């Protein structure tokens, strides 16, 4: 095991479960002090206990990524606990799927508020503190393949995920001169509570048939690329959206075993 993040302060939002928890665990196992930020005290406590049991160093802050004061408390909590902030992973999100004609204004506001505004608040608060501390840093925004390959029923989610990419790319340009690298990851389908399709009797097979690797990702398979983007191995990568989807978004896989090849008359 390497210790790539020894001495660093890391904030992970939505760290109580799923991709955020796996990311927090990976950072802690590589020597970072990790501030677990999220909505639910119970799941954060649970994740923190597991990290500490493995010898890792972490603290928790309970709060909402869509509230500026809560985000500022998370960044301040990281600095108070570990002396500095080097990494922000803006991961917290929700996925509200509804037929286009049924969507409500309140649901739109909540999805965009958490995913897009919450991402902007996390990136801004972390970067402001890094600049004050006089060093660079790394920030990763957890978007989705939905940012560029929208899904039916996902008007809120699709819009939120592409909005996050715009936040990431703008921040990347403005913060790179200050030594802060901002990147994103775009996971495909990951086995977490946010993606019930992984357990759905019909949709499960539809998504699997479209995923050339033939399975869904485990949360740690998204966490590891996030750590890569924050590591020195990615020292010249900024403004990049790293797709981690088992080739799900490359194209439409079709079975090749269809009998005799079909050759249109025009090419005979
Ligand atoms: N699971 C997938 O298939 C998948 C695919 C692509 C992208 N993503 C993205 O990955 C990120 C993490 O998702 P996950 O699959 O681990 O989901 P999850 O539901 O398991 O975890 C999300 C975490 O974020 C927290 N959270 C939600 N809203 C919050 C708020 N307002 N303030 C603070 N914390 C909040 C939740 O409490 C939860 O702990 C999300 O941004 C999601 O859109 C997930």
Mean confidence (pLDDT) of the chain = 96
Per the residue annotation, which of 43, 157, 178, 235 is the catalytic one?
Answer: 157
Average pLDDT for 149-177: 98
pLDDT digits (tens, 9 = 90+) for 190-238: 999 988 889 999 999 999 999 999 999 999 999 999 999 999 999 999 9
What does residue 83 show for φ and ψ, rounded to 5 degrees?
A: 85, -10
Distance 14 CA to ligand 1 centre (A): 6
Q: Does residue 259 have a pLDDT over 70? A: no
Distance 71 CA to ligand 1 centre (A): 16
Let me know if 104 is a catalytic residue: no
Residue with CA closest to ligand 1 atom 8: 144
Separation between Cα atoms, residue 255 and residue 242, nearest integer Å: 27
Let me know if 157 is a catalytic residue: yes
Distance 231 CA to ligand 1 centre (A): 23
Superfamily designation of domain 9-240: NAD(P)-binding Rossmann-like Domain (3.40.50.720)
User: What is the value of pTM for the model shown?
Assistant: 0.96
What does residue 265 show for φ and ψ, rounded to 5 degrees?
A: -50, -40
Tokens linked to 46: 């649970």
Let me know if 248 is a catalytic residue: no
Separation between Cα atoms, residue 50 and residue 71, nearest integer Å: 24
Q: Give the three-class secondary structure for 38.
A: strand
Choose between 256 and 73: higher pLDDT.
73
* Complete DSSP assignment for 229-246: HHSGGGTT--S-EEEEST
Task: Please indicate whether residue 184, judged by its CB atom, sits closer than 6 Å to ligand 1.
Answer: no
Residue with CA closest to ligand 1 atom 41: 93
* Complete DSSP assignment for 190-243: BSSTT-GGGT-TTHHHHHHHT-TT-SPBPTHHHHHHHHHHHSGGGTT--S-EEE
Domain ranges within the chain, ordered by starting residue: 9-240
User: What pairs with residue 141 in β-bridges?
Assistant: 90, 184
Residue 143, classified by CB atoms within 10 Å of its CB into exposed (0-12), middle (13-18) or buried (19+), is buried
User: What pairs with residue 34 in β-bridges?
Assistant: 10, 58
Residue with CA closest to ligand 1 atom 2: 190
């Amino acid at each position: 095991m390497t210790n790539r993040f020894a001495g660093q302060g890391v904030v992970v939002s939505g760290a109580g479960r799923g991709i955020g928890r796996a990311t927090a665990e990976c950072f802690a196992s590589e020597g970072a002090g990790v501030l677990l930020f999220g909505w639910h005290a119970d799941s954060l406590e649970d994740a923190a206990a597991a990290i500490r049991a493995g010898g890792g160093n972490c603290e928790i802050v309970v709060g909402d990524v869509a509230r500026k004061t809560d985000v500022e408390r998370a960044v301040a909590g990281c600095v108070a606990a570990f002396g500095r902030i080097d990494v922000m992973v803006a991961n917290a999100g929700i996925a509200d799927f509804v037929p286009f004609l049924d969507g409500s204004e309140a649901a739109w506001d909540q999805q965009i508020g958490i995913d897009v505004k919450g991402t902007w608040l996390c990136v801004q608060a972390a970067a402001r503190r890094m600049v004050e501390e006089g060093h660079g840093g790394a920030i990763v925004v957890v978007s989705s393949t939905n940012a560029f390959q929208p899904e039916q029923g996902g008007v809120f989610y699709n819009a939120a995920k592409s909005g996050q990419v715009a936040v990431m790319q703008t921040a990347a340009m403005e913060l790179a001169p200050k030594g802060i690298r901002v990147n994103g990851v775009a996971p495909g389908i990951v086995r977490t509570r946010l993606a019930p399709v992984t357990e759905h009797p019909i949709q499960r097979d539809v998504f699997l048939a479209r995923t050339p690797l033939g399975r869904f990702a485990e949360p740690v398979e998204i966490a590891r690329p996030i750590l890569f983007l924050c590591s020195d191995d990615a020292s010249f990568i900024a403004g990049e959206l790293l797709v981690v989807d088992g080739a799900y978004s490359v194209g439409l896989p079709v079975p090749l075993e269809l009998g005799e090849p079909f050759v249109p008359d025009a090419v005979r």
